[in-house]
Structure 1
Amino acid sequence: MAQDYSRLVIVRWTAGLLAILSLLLWLNHAALSAMQMPAPLPVHTVLETVTIVIFTSVFIVCWNAFGGSRKKSSVILAVAFLCTAILGFMHAISFQGMPGFPDAEDMHKSLLFWLLSRSFIATTLLGLAMAPQDSEVSPLQAYFVLTAGLLATAGWMVMVFMFPHLLPLTYIEGEGQTSFKMACELGLIAINLFTAYRFNKQGAASSPTNELGGRLQIERAPLFLAAILLAISEVYFAIYVNGNDVFVAVGHVFQLLAAIAIYRGMVAVNIHTPYATLAETSQNLARSAEELSIERERLSRMIDTAIDGIITIDETQSIILVNPAAAAMFGHDVQYLMGASLNTVLPERHRQVHGRHVKEFGETGATRRKMGSNFEDFYVTGVKANGEEFPIEASISSQIENGRRFYTVIFRDITERKVAKEKMALYHDELTQLSATLQSIREEERKHIARELHDDLGQLLAALRMDLSLLQRDSILTGKTQQTINSMDQLLLTSITTLRRIATDLRPRALDEGGLYFALQTLQKDFSIRHGIACDLEANEEQLALDDARSTAIFRIVQESLTNVVRHAAATEVQIVFERNATMLSFSIADNGKGIEAEEMRKSRSFGLVGMRERVKAMHGEFLVDSQPGEGTRLKINLPLRYVNN
């Protein structure tokens, strides 16, 4: 960084000295303008030719330095310098006359080519100084820009050669350069000075050497000097009177120095940069190789110490890597499995299917997939050396190296987990059966108690009331005795009503005598009367023509739901809706209450919801709860008919 800044300081001093030298020459303008070059054409041609060669070199580097991969900036620079070289060549061959053309017209044409070439180089350097955003371009786009630049240059050449009178005059024989030519020179001076300012500012703010668009290496300091030299050369080209004037040669010298600075700032840097970084690249490669070796050793240790099995196979299903954990699971040695077929560790009945699945996995282009995550996925099964099979949970990944596809499987033995899950499933089935049995026993006991209460105790109370009615008719009873008997009659009536309500809660007679539909109608009316909550039932008798067990379960679900509404919901409306089609019986119980919090539904003591869920599960149905705080609760039950009617 310090070295680059020192180079910029040296370039600034050089530019300053050249400016002072130019100032001294301008102060002696009168004496120098009288000097004439003895051979102006050869001097002009040599200096211009060297400049053209340098600009052509810049084009070659910008165009070919990166092969087929180019940036927008490198393409624009290449085309701009090529067009500049072509226009400079046209200026050189038309200077001071060409065979077959009048001399006066030739000087005008030469200066037109001159202004065009200087404008190209000035605007190109200005574009570099502005450091625009860059992007990748395709080969087709690059050649399109090149073709467009060459066509535009050819168009200017045709215009200058064939129709020079349509363009503003740049030179008048005997009078010299026109005001148009002078104005163009002043504009180029201003552009070059602004470009020099930009390069100087960028060089002072950061490293003078950087990459253009992340590819083309440039040095700001030489380009800053080139812009200054071009501005000085434009001054000399603006003040000369005729082609023999010594200021023409001085201007060309400054122009040549500017071309050399551009070459140094762009071409030389890109030629020498690869060699300058070769040693660093070699060191980086050596360091990368060492780091790669360390990474491989670390990875090898991780694979060897992993408790999960790891196997890598190639496209032929041959094992090319196996860790000790995998070998131990299959009961083999690592050396035995290396190079063996994957079929060695697969049951014979699964080998063909497994091979096809692996091949299809590789053809899909996927890089990884989980396999054998379900215990029912029996194709992921391993076989030990003694022939014993065991379940595997595994994940498979694929990668392509040197055109060959490899598959890596990481797996574990889930025998214990499978046994534990099977035991849990068995326990769960047993608990479900126990729950269903208890529900059935409880329902039978309720039915028995309800019948005993209704048939025995109910009849006794009814008979007692009848006897009491006969006693009330006795005329010999006193008023006080009559009052006592009336009180007893009222108590008997209340007892009978209570007994009937208890018996109905235990087992509604409508469920046995009229079926589920009439039992639900009775429940709906009694609920509305007893609790003052509007309850609407949407169903018909045909929908609810079910067997006794299912009818009882559905009645108990609706009954428990209404009980929960009274206890917890604080609702004013309840709607019960039944729907039935060819395959499904569905019903819902919805209220407009305060809803249920998620934490409340997860409580272990929410026996009402648990009981309803168990009843639905026993009928192979689906139980859903939709509740939002403040928006009520909706229970949705779906029962498949193939189980409902069994």
Structure 2
Amino acid sequence: MSLSTTNPTHRILLARWLVAAFFLISCLFWANQALLSTFRLTQPLPVHTFLETVTIVIFASVFIVCWNAFGESRKKSSAILAIAFLCTAILGFFHSVSFQGMPGFETAIDMHKSLSFWLASRTLIAITLLGLALDPTDSDVSKKQSYSILFIGTICTTLLAVVIFNAPHLVPLTFSATAGQTTFKIAYEMVLVAVNTLTAFLFYQHAVRFQSDKTAEHLHIERAPLFFASALMAMSEVYFSLYSSTSDIDIAIGHTFQLFAAIAIYRSMVAVNIHTPYSALAETTESLVSSSNELILQRERLSRMIDTAIDGIITVDEQQIIILANPAAAAIFGYQADSLIGAPLDNLIPMRHRHSHGNHMREFGEAGTTRRKMGTHYEDFYVTGCKADGNEFPIEASIAHQLENGKRYYTVIFRDITDRKIAREKMAAYHTQLSQLSNTLQTIREEERKHIARELHDDLGQLLAALRMDLSLLQRDRQLIENNQQTMKSMDQLILSAITTLRRIATDLRPRALDEGGLFFALKTLQKDFSQRHKIECELVADEKHLILDDDRSTAIYRIIQESLTNVARHAEANYVQIEFHHSSDKLSFTISDNGKGIDDQDMQKTQSFGLVGMRERVKAMHGEFHVVSNNIEGTTLKITLPLEQET
């Protein structure tokens, strides 16, 4: 008899037909008790003992498998089922050993004890199954909780056994020497019949509902076999209530029905509890196989990516032996890819760098960092490569390492930057030439300014002065003054304005104070003129003795400050400027600070910002440092630092 068909609908139909068949047969037996009583058991004790023993073994198996099916993480249903059927097996054992006819248990009181154990075991099964039918949900229980339930269940069973064995009078009488089964025993079994019938009905309803609603089936049990088992348990209780002596065939039929019910319970609970973990294991295995296949695909994909990568990729072990090299790496170094595998990494490094490179690799592996850039500058000798023909070339690379099974592996991804090196060298040469050209232009421009300023001051200035002197002589002629007084005064003012403008232009081109009084006096003049012309307070903080410099430096510093003040007047919207010098033994630093609106970053990066570019170039020509700090709260500050001894 099996309900193991895989289709839930078929299982329900099979269980229903089996229950109907057993019920029909039972009705025939119950209706023909007179005929059935003619069949007697000649040796009833061995038959009862065998059937009860098999049932006890099955119930014990339910405990063993339900208890161990889920390891450390158990379900509440599994724990309760395991403990309930363990207690049932214990009570069933006590029922068997105290049954009338067993050695030492021949009296009516012994039969009372046996039937008391019988009723207790069947009550426990009925209540457990009814509880599962009434509450189909489930939850996890911890190891501590499950062992606590086991301890309480076994203690209660032990106490009940002690009471039945030692104080049977405390238990309602179930058997008498004259009447046999008592009214209490028969009525109690009718109650068990009703409970098991209700349980069978509920399990049938669950089986029908859960076959279409798989998400609702939380318990690790099958309902169709439990429906069948509960129905047989109800029928068996009827047989047990009908017998009058131990040799009646009703007892054997009841035990047989009980055995079939135990098998169905085993099928429902044990088989599923075994199947569930192994199904999970099968799903896990299938998932692992799927993951393994996915891993294989990923490895193949990664292998194709490595083989088709433009950059070279090399992996070495702790002994610096190459274990992986892609075609790009082999092509960069001029080898065949297969010939690099198993070769020492030293073959790809110039002889003079091999020892230091090995030390650096080990230090990198022991430093705790997992990756690092190398060769970001082409002159970085640590990543200079050596081709198969002995030619050296620069490399830009990144290195990473990882631990596998206690062994360290290093992977380098690199590219040949020879073209970049050549381009950088050309750019550096162009930049040097442009800087030299800029310096030359600045020098030529300054010389030209000096020449123009001298010509304006010495030649044109003297002509204007002579013209004014001649005008002064004409003004002594009274008759001429009377007729042209206004014209003479206007001419005098125009000549004076021309002289003033000429002096300002000449000063802007080349301040005479710079040649005659030095940088300090030139800056004082510039400060005073700036304040008067733009109505902006300007403060100069400097020591004259620290500003005694050569003509080139003095001119450059003057032009930087002059350009800075021009920018302040045009753009800063400031009302205060401070120029402050600091002197040390090896450098001269100065700042130009204003309290204006500041300069935006994008404005400082504009290609049209020739003022800043010119100042940077002047500072660079003197091997100095130039920094701009600006925000809309504190204004703008230019910080310039110049070495006092020019580098060569």
TM-score (ref. length: structure 1): 0.70
Maintained 8 Å contact 1:454/1:499 = yes
Q: How many residues align?
A: 601
Which amino acid is the alignment partner of residue 55 of structure 2?
Answer: L
- Is 1:557 the counterpart of 2:560 in the alignment? yes
> Structure 1 residues 494 and 208, CA, compared in 2 at 3 Å: closer, same or farther?
same
Maintained 8 Å contact 1:595/1:632 = no
Does the residue aligned with 2:70 lie in a helix, a strand or coil? Answer: helix
Maintained 8 Å contact 1:96/1:107 = no
2:155 corresponds to which residue?
158
Segments of 5+ residues of structure 1 without an aligned counterpart are 64-69, 135-141, 213-217
Maintained 8 Å contact 1:112/1:160 = no
Shift of 1:487: 0.8
Maintained 8 Å contact 1:546/1:644 = no
Segments of 5+ residues of structure 2 without an aligned counterpart are 99-103, 164-169, 175-182, 244-249
1:67 corresponds to which residue?
none
Maintained 8 Å contact 1:189/1:232 = yes
> Structure 1 residues 509 and 286, CA, compared in 2 at 3 Å: closer, same or farther?
closer
Equivalence map 1:510-525=2 (5 Å): 510-511=513-514, 519-520=522-523, 522-524=525-527
- Is 1:57 the counterpart of 2:60 in the alignment? no
1:261 corresponds to which residue?
268
Which amino acid is the alignment partner of residue 12 of structure 2?
Answer: R
Maintained 8 Å contact 2:588/2:644 = no
1:639 corresponds to which residue?
640
Maintained 8 Å contact 2:438/2:617 = yes
Maintained 8 Å contact 1:192/1:227 = yes
2:628 corresponds to which residue?
624
> Structure 1 residues 513 and 275, CA, compared in 2 at 3 Å: closer, same or farther?
closer
Maintained 8 Å contact 1:558/1:589 = no
Does the residue aligned with 2:373 lie in a helix, a strand or coil? Answer: strand
Equivalence map 1:15-414=2 (5 Å): 16=16, 46-63=54-71, 72=73, 74=74, 79=79, 82-93=82-93, 130=137, 145-158=142-155, 161=158, 172-173=172-173, 203-205=211-213, 223-225=222-224, 228=227, 254=261, 256-268=263-275, 295=300, 299=303, 303=307, 308-322=311-325, 326-327=329-330, 329-331=332-334, 337-364=340-367, 368-398=371-401, 404-414=407-417
- Is 1:419 the counterpart of 2:427 in the alignment? no
Shift of 1:60: 3.4
Shift of 1:473: 5.1
Which amino acid is the alignment partner of residue 266 of structure 1?
Answer: N
Which amino acid is the alignment partner of residue 571 of structure 1?
Answer: E
The one of 441, 446, 450 aligned to 1:443? 446
Does the residue aligned with 1:391 lie in a helix, a strand or coil? Answer: strand
In structure 2, C-alpha distance between the alignment counterparts of 1:86 and 1:151, rounded to whole Å: 15
Which amino acid is the alignment partner of residue 261 of structure 1?
Answer: S
1:613 corresponds to which residue?
616
Shift of 1:378: 0.7
> Structure 1 residues 78 and 488, CA, compared in 2 at 3 Å: closer, same or farther?
same
Maintained 8 Å contact 1:94/1:107 = no
Does the residue aligned with 1:379 lie in a helix, a strand or coil? Answer: helix
Shift of 1:559: 3.1
> Structure 1 residues 84 and 472, CA, compared in 2 at 3 Å: closer, same or farther?
farther
In structure 1, C-alpha distance between the alignment counterparts of 2:479 and 2:132, rounded to whole Å: 136
Does the residue aligned with 1:395 lie in a helix, a strand or coil? Answer: strand
Which amino acid is the alignment partner of residue 318 of structure 1?
Answer: I
> Structure 1 residues 283 and 436, CA, compared in 2 at 3 Å: closer, same or farther?
closer
Maintained 8 Å contact 2:229/2:265 = yes
Maintained 8 Å contact 1:226/1:257 = yes
CA-to-aligned-CA distance 1:251-296 (integer Å, 9 cap, x gap): 7754652331123333246568989999x99998998899699x39
Identity %: 37
2:180 corresponds to which residue?
none
- Is 1:7 the counterpart of 2:15 in the alignment? no
With 477-486 and 371-380 compared, the bigger mean Cα shift is at 477-486
CA-to-aligned-CA distance 1:139-170 (integer Å, 9 cap, x gap): xxx9xx435522442244335645999xxxx9
1:138 corresponds to which residue?
none
In structure 1, C-alpha distance between the alignment counterparts of 2:338 and 2:202, rounded to whole Å: 74
Maintained 8 Å contact 2:75/2:138 = no
- Is 1:571 the counterpart of 2:578 in the alignment? no
State the Cα RMSD in Å: 5.8
Which amino acid is the alignment partner of residue 92 of structure 2?
Answer: A
Does the residue aligned with 2:397 lie in a helix, a strand or coil? Answer: strand
In structure 1, C-alpha distance between the alignment counterparts of 2:434 and 2:609, rounded to whole Å: 18
In structure 2, C-alpha distance between the alignment counterparts of 1:636 and 1:176, rounded to whole Å: 108
Maintained 8 Å contact 2:112/2:173 = yes
Shift of 1:352: 1.0
1:66 corresponds to which residue?
none
Maintained 8 Å contact 1:199/1:224 = yes
The one of 584, 589, 609 aligned to 1:585? 589
Does the residue aligned with 1:204 lie in a helix, a strand or coil? Answer: coil
Max Rg structure: 2
> Structure 1 residues 271 and 609, CA, compared in 2 at 3 Å: closer, same or farther?
closer
Which amino acid is the alignment partner of residue 549 of structure 2?
Answer: D
Shift of 1:508: 3.7
With 491-500 and 248-257 compared, the bigger mean Cα shift is at 248-257
Does the residue aligned with 1:62 lie in a helix, a strand or coil? Answer: coil
In structure 2, C-alpha distance between the alignment counterparts of 1:552 and 1:51, rounded to whole Å: 109
Does the residue aligned with 1:419 lie in a helix, a strand or coil? Answer: helix
- Is 1:491 the counterpart of 2:488 in the alignment? no
1:547 corresponds to which residue?
549
Which amino acid is the alignment partner of residue 274 of structure 2?
Answer: V
Maintained 8 Å contact 2:596/2:636 = no
Does the residue aligned with 2:7 lie in a helix, a strand or coil? Answer: helix
1:137 corresponds to which residue?
none
Maintained 8 Å contact 1:616/1:637 = no
Which amino acid is the alignment partner of residue 223 of structure 1?
Answer: E
Which amino acid is the alignment partner of residue 440 of structure 2?
Answer: T
CA-to-aligned-CA distance 1:406-451 (integer Å, 9 cap, x gap): 4444433322321221222122122223222322332343344334
Which amino acid is the alignment partner of residue 453 of structure 1?
Answer: L
> Structure 1 residues 151 and 470, CA, compared in 2 at 3 Å: closer, same or farther?
same
Shift of 1:7: 1.0
In structure 2, C-alpha distance between the alignment counterparts of 1:384 and 1:184, rounded to whole Å: 93
Which amino acid is the alignment partner of residue 52 of structure 1?
Answer: A
> Structure 1 residues 369 and 205, CA, compared in 2 at 3 Å: closer, same or farther?
farther
